[in-house]
Amino acid sequence: MLISSLLVFTALSVSNVFAGQVPIVDGVLGGVPTGASVPGETTREALTIAATTPGKLRVTENSGICETTPGVYQASGYGDLTSTKSIWFWFFAARKNPSTAPVALWFNGGPGSSSMIGLFQEHGPCRINNDTKTVSLNPYSWNNEVNMLYIDQPVGVGFSHGDLDVGTSQAAAADVWSFLQIFFKDSRFSKYQPNDLAIWTESYGGHYGPTFAAHILKQNAAIAAGSVSGLKLNLEVLGIGNGLTDPLSQYPGYIEYAASNPYHALVSSSVINTATNAWSSSSGCKAKITTCYNGGSNSVCSSAQSYCNNYILSPLAGNYDVYYVPTRNPDPYPPAISTYLASIRTAAGAEASYVESNSKVYSNFAATGDWMRNSRPDLETVINAGVRTLIFDGDADYIVNYVGVEAMVDALNTQFTATYKQQPWSTYTVEGQAAGQYKNAGTFSYMRVYGAGHEVPAYKYGKLAYGQAASQMFLQTMSKKPLTST
């Protein structure tokens, strides 16, 4: 998520908001920390670690945590990129036909957020209970028919540990590729390497997803050309929920959504007017993002993030929960996961204390201005390559709202764009219950999900259960089919 929740940032000023995912830096949502510097000299977390095995996995198998369905395999542990960089993963085999099922990677965003959020709050084999100390089996888990691989990245996030030297989405993509090469070379998981591969992500995943997917396609091509050695990965699907991809297209959405959304206005008309001026003035947010896009330096793009979030993103939020606007701050849902993860850390094989949101990782990205760089060209590359792509958004989310996301989708320039724009909206139903609206065009689909906040699979709507609509949407896309009502 655009930095994830509930652990206090040690280096940032953070409000005490339940399930808050964007850091509040000196009172500004998504602000730029003073003194943030681009990663250069290696910064290592203070941690005494076990002996690493560079280029290999260290695994705890069948711990009995979370997935309690009889006979379903799970494994958690580390992929050691180097002697000082270890990425944490948690793998759950599909409950049905795992040997032939596709593999879906899950990444939360931030930048700096743990993918354990998706596992335990959204769509894993179990979900955290309201007591924040126990979990319950999830009947709509995404591993019902898909092998799920949750990855904590960059290093320093979640249970991952080591050198904190990543500050761009492209650098993160290189580490993820290295991890996947280690993972699929391991004898326990090599059998899955030929299977279809998918990337699913959310929030800052609007940057991660396109960048990671484009990097995999590029590496595959280099392997085929003989210029790179490694295992080709059979990337077939990309799914992005509530994603920040193209800030220039998306930031006006904050103004429109704050004024008019399916629930209520978030702020007064005077605040709207002030933000509108901040967007359109000659030295305002639009101009600053445009300069960033046109070859802007790290400092130029970082300055754009600071300005736009100070004068647009942050003030337009009002006093409502920015991840689920029907409620005021603080909203205790989804329940916190840190207490539970501390209780199972040793049994799962984790070496580091759990860090749900790493302030140093966030600062690294803020210093490079990665937030304000445009990931839409990579998304267009992936769509044009024939990768089945789903963009989706919960209509109750402000922080990456559907107004901005739909503007980004409309701005896409792909082989399916003309067809997409001609499509009427269709109602998406699950067992006859309206759950959203959608469009399909070629191998591209978009869906706006009713009643869902920032973490779409964590919510329910109408007569549906928690995560039921998201599960149907996920499985249809994993089957490489257009969205279809049931």
Note whether 291 and 304 are within 8 A (CB).
Answer: yes
Report the DSSP pairing between strands 103-107 and 28-29. unpaired
- The conformation of residue 311, written as its DSSP 8-state character, comes to I
Residues 6+ apart with CB under 8 A from 260: none
Return the pLDDT at 47.
Answer: 54
Write down the catalytic residue from 123, 161, 207, 454: 454
Active site residue 161: no
Spatial separation of the C-alpha atoms in residues 279 and 281, rounded to whole Å: 6
DSSP 72-131: --EEEEEEEEETTEEEEEEEE--SS-TTTS-EEEEE--TTTB-THHIIIIIISSEEE-TT
Report the DSSP pairing between strands 85-92 and 147-152. antiparallel
Asked whether the whole model's pTM tops 0.75, one would answer: yes
**114 occurs within a structural domain:** yes
Spatial separation of the C-alpha atoms in residues 283 and 295, rounded to whole Å: 17
Strands (E) located in 363-432:
388-394, 426-430
Return the pLDDT at 23.
Answer: 80
Write out the residue range of the structural domain in which residue 367 sits: 60-252+322-479
Burial class (CB in 10 A: 0-12, 13-18, 19+), 26: exposed
**186 occurs within a structural domain:** yes
Residues of the chain with pLDDT under 70: 1-21, 37-50
Residue 359, CA atoms < 13 Å, CB-side half-sphere: 18
Report the CATH number that the domain containing residue 454 is assigned in CATH: 3.40.50.1820
Residue 196, both tokens: 């279809």
Spatial separation of the C-alpha atoms in residues 194 and 232, rounded to whole Å: 8
Closest of 215, 116, 203, 206 to residue 175, by C-alpha: 215
Q: What are phi and psi of 335, to 5 degrees?
A: -65, 150
Spatial separation of the C-alpha atoms in residues 173 and 87, rounded to whole Å: 13
Closest of 148, 471, 198, 103 to residue 483, by C-alpha: 471
Write down the catalytic residue from 203, 303, 306, 363: 203
Please give the helix or strand (H or E) that residue 211 lies within, else none. Answer: helix 205-225
Residue corresponding to tokens 């539970």: 340
Please give the helix or strand (H or E) that residue 405 lies within, else none. Answer: helix 402-411
Number of domains composing the chain = 1
Active site residue 410: no
Note whether 375 and 368 are within 8 A (CB).
Answer: no
Amino acid, single-letter form, for residue 206: G
Active site residue 203: yes
**25 occurs within a structural domain:** no
Note whether 302 and 274 are within 8 A (CB).
Answer: no
Note whether 173 and 212 are within 8 A (CB).
Answer: yes
Spatial separation of the C-alpha atoms in residues 208 and 177, rounded to whole Å: 12
Return the pLDDT at 19.
Answer: 44
**270 occurs within a structural domain:** no
**462 occurs within a structural domain:** yes
**287 occurs within a structural domain:** no
Note whether 216 and 460 are within 8 A (CB).
Answer: no
Return the pLDDT at 42.
Answer: 41
Spatial separation of the C-alpha atoms in residues 49 and 250, rounded to whole Å: 42
Report the DSSP pairing between strands 235-241 and 388-394. parallel
Strands (E) located in 289-425:
388-394
Write down the catalytic residue from 175, 321, 331, 397: 397
Return the pLDDT at 5.
Answer: 35
Helix (H, G, I), strand (E, B) or coil at 95: coil
Closest of 376, 393, 388 to residue 450, by C-alpha: 393
Spatial separation of the C-alpha atoms in residues 153 and 184, rounded to whole Å: 17
Return the pLDDT at 22.
Answer: 74
Note whether 263 and 420 are within 8 A (CB).
Answer: no
Residues 6+ apart with CB under 8 A from 306: 28, 31, 32
**165 occurs within a structural domain:** yes
Return the pLDDT at 45.
Answer: 53
**124 occurs within a structural domain:** yes
Residue 63, both tokens: 């711990």
| Cα→Cα distances 354→157, 159, 253, Å | 8, 5, 34
Spatial separation of the C-alpha atoms in residues 135 and 367, rounded to whole Å: 37
Secondary-structure breakdown of the chain: helix, strand, coil percentages, each rounded to the nearest 5: 35, 20, 45
| Cα→Cα distances 455→201, 413, 470, Å | 10, 27, 10
